């Protein structure tokens, strides 16, 4: 009985620190504490050791939950978010002291709650020790309970995303991450300084008649084959389709764009470094635009340390709006809209505004508002075709979730375009995705895919100065996202020596060469 109560005493602090399925995962991991109590040992000293071991382990979960609750309630962030990790990596001892002073009421409250729950745990374990001494014959069920808890723990530890949340696993890795970040800080700083220097050395010049604003919307995991704008049978892009109908003169849909990569960090490195991320003389799109006289913005609903360090920090102004890394981030993409509006309204001058979205990155169900699950439980032709193709119920459900995310995404993309159109002056607007996504089209798989064309299949849309006068046959050429910088700098009126006309699909001298993909792709598909 006292053991069960001790288990229950962990529940309230954990509920405050975790939600949904994560809470269940962490509860399964707490078996590593209770398992100590289950084995029927007789001696008083042996049982005291059992209680101590259980107490230390349960105490670790309590301390973990307490730190998480504090960070969550103070900044709405997870401890391993870019915001928290970079803030800590960037903190000196005196700043740490200032921090303690600034947040003392919250810290005091969390500290008091932690002490209280530790005391309660101690009392209950002491009680367990006393009660178990009185039992002449420990129940045989205890051995069964031990093996059951052990099984549960081993199962939970065998799954990597679960294991990560065991405090004994999480915090050493976290400390390493902070130390790594601090170590890389200096070198990243130097790299950025070098990129800026190299950009200045290119002496980029601005053509006076070029547009004054470019909004570049970089989304995530959007496969163009799922956009009705590209012929998908489900109505996933009604707003963009309507816009195309209204203004076909200055809105272009490029039919065959491809990413060189199937994941975000490599795709962005390739894109921003003009397809040459590992060249010793590489240039960076943002640094070049800044050197040419553009003001630069990075508005992001992404939380990724590498992206932040390699690209976002090169921008004059950064708005990082999502503080939860990885797949369980629930921040919806429309959070970028007010920031985009602010950037567009801010004074005169040439502007390059990068908007980085989560798009339809897994988990798909978190990429649309709960009330806007347009294709949940839909049993239409698309669904029946998947069924006929032998796709599992899980994949079919994920397809519905993915398409719901695309449908919501349509409204956000259209809104970024509308804001650019009404506030941008002589503006251009470009939308693309970092890479594609396979959602049951070629195999029973849903997610990033380096081994199928869908993993690289992306959309590319342009409006305004970016689309005007582009002939239809140019819009049907295969295009590489990693070369796009050449077309964009020309569009922005930037003259620089690194410009390669054969990589600019808007130039008559454009010559398509396929990227090095590990899979055979029909690039006109
Ligand atoms: Zn991505």
Most confident option among 116-130, 182-196, 476-490: 476-490
Find the 274 Cα to ligand 1 centroid distance in Å. Answer: 18
* SS3 labels along 255-270: CEEECCCCCHHHHHHH
Return d(Cα 304, Cα 481) in angstroms, integer: 20
Tens-digit pLDDT profile for residues 81-121: 776 787 777 676 766 777 777 778 888 999 999 999 999 99
Find the 148 Cα to ligand 1 centroid distance in Å. Answer: 39
Q: Following DSSP, what letter does each residue of 81-122 receive, concatenated?
A: SHHHHHHHHT--HHHHHHHHHHTHHHHHHHHHHHHHHHHHHH
Closest CA to 236 of 246, 225, 228: 228
Find the 450 Cα to ligand 1 centroid distance in Å. Answer: 12
Residue 484 has pLDDT above 90, yes or no: yes
Find the 494 Cα to ligand 1 centroid distance in Å. Answer: 28
Find the 257 Cα to ligand 1 centroid distance in Å. Answer: 16
Residues 141, 147, 151: CA angle, nearest 5 degrees? 140
Of 355 and 158, which is predicted with more confidence?
355
Residue 422 has pLDDT above 70, yes or no: yes
Peptide bond into 196 cis (omega under 30): no
Find the 221 Cα to ligand 1 centroid distance in Å. Answer: 5
HSE toward the beta carbon, residue 47, CA cutoff 13 A: 19
As a whole number, mean pLDDT of residues 411-429 equals 95
Q: pTM for this one?
A: 0.75
b/e 445-467 (16+ beta carbons within 10 angstroms → b): bbbbbeebbbbbbbbbbbbbbbb
Find the 358 Cα to ligand 1 centroid distance in Å. Answer: 8
At 132 the pLDDT is 80
pLDDT band at 1 (very low <50, low <70, confident <90, very high): low
Find the 262 Cα to ligand 1 centroid distance in Å. Answer: 7
Tens-digit pLDDT profile for residues 28-81: 999 999 888 888 777 888 888 988 999 999 999 999 999 999 888 877 778 887
Residue 84 structure tokens: 């928290």
Return d(Cα 218, Cα 89) in angstroms, integer: 28
Of 149 and 233, which is predicted with more confidence?
233
The CB density around residue 513, as the number of other CB atoms within 10 Å, is 10
Find the 430 Cα to ligand 1 centroid distance in Å. Answer: 17
In 363-521, beta strands by DSSP E: 427-433, 438-439, 446-447, 460-464, 478-480, 494-495
Tens-digit pLDDT profile for residues 309-365: 889 999 999 999 988 776 778 899 999 999 999 999 998 899 999 999 999 998 899
Find the 16 Cα to ligand 1 centroid distance in Å. Answer: 30
Find the 264 Cα to ligand 1 centroid distance in Å. Answer: 4
């Amino acid at each position: 009985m006292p053991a069960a109560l001790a288990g229950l005493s962990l529940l309230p602090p954990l509920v405050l620190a975790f939600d949904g399925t994560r809470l269940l995962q962490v509860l399964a991991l707490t078996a590593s504490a209770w398992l100590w109590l289950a084995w029927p040992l007789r001696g008083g000293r042996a049982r005291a050791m059992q209680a101590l071991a259980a107490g230390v382990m349960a105490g670790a979960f309590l301390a973990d939950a307490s730190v998480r609750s504090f960070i969550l309630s103070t900044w709405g962030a997870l401890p391993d978010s870019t915001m928290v990790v970079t803030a800590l990596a960037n903190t000196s001892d005196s700043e740490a002291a200032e921090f303690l002073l600034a947040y003392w009421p919250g810290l005091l409250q969390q500290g008091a709650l932690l002490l209280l729950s530790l005391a309660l745990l101690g009392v209950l374990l002491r009680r367990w020790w006393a009660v178990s001494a009185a039992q002449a014959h420990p129940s045989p069920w205890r051995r069964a309970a031990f093996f059951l808890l052990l099984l549960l723990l081993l199962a939970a530890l065998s799954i990597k995303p679960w294991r990560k949340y065991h405090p004994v696993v999480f915090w050493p890795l976290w400390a390493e991450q902070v130390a790594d970040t601090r170590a890389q800080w200096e070198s990243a700083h130097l790299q950025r300084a070098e990129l800026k220097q190299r950009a200045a050395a290119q002496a980029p010049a601005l053509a006076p008649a070029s547009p004054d604003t470019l909004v570049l919307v970089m989304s995530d995991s959007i496969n163009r084959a799922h956009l009705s704008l590209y012929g998908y049978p489900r109505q996933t892009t009604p707003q963009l389709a309507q816009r195309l109908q209204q203004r076909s003169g200055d809105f272009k849909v490029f039919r065959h764009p491809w990413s060189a990569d199937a994941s975000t960090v490599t795709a962005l490195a390739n894109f921003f470094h003009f397809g040459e991320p590992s060249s010793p003389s590489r240039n960076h799109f943002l640094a070049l635009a800044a050197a040419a006289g553009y003001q630069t913005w990075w508005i992001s609903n992404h939380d990724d340390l590498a992206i932040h360090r390699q690209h976002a920090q090169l921008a004059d102004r950064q708005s990082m709006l999502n503080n939860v890394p990885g797949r369980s981030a629930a921040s919806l993409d429309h959070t970028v809209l007010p920031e985009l509006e602010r950037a567009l309204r801010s004074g005169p001058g040439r502007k390059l505004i990068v908007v980085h979205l989560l798009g339809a990155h897994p988990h798909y169900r978190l990429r649309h508002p709960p009330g806007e699950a347009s294709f949940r439980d839909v049993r239409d032709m698309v669904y029946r075709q998947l069924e006929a193709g032998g796709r599992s119920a899980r994949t079919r459900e994920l397809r519905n979730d993915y398409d719901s995310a695309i449908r919501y995404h349509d409204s956000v993309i259209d809104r970024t375009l509308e804001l650019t159109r009404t506030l941008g002056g002589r503006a251009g607007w470009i939308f693309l995705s970092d890479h594609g996504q396979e959602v049951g089209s070629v195999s029973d798989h849903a997610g990033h895919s380096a081994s199928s064309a869908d993993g690289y299949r992306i959309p590319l849309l342009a409006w305004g100065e970016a689309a005007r006068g582009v002939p239809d046959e140019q819009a049907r050429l295969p295009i590489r996202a990693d070369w796009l910088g050449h077309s964009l700098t020309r569009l922005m009126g930037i003259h620089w020596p690194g410009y390669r006309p054969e990589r600019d699909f808007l130039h008559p001298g454009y010559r398509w060469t396929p990227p090095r993909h590990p899979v055979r792709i029909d690039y006109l598909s």
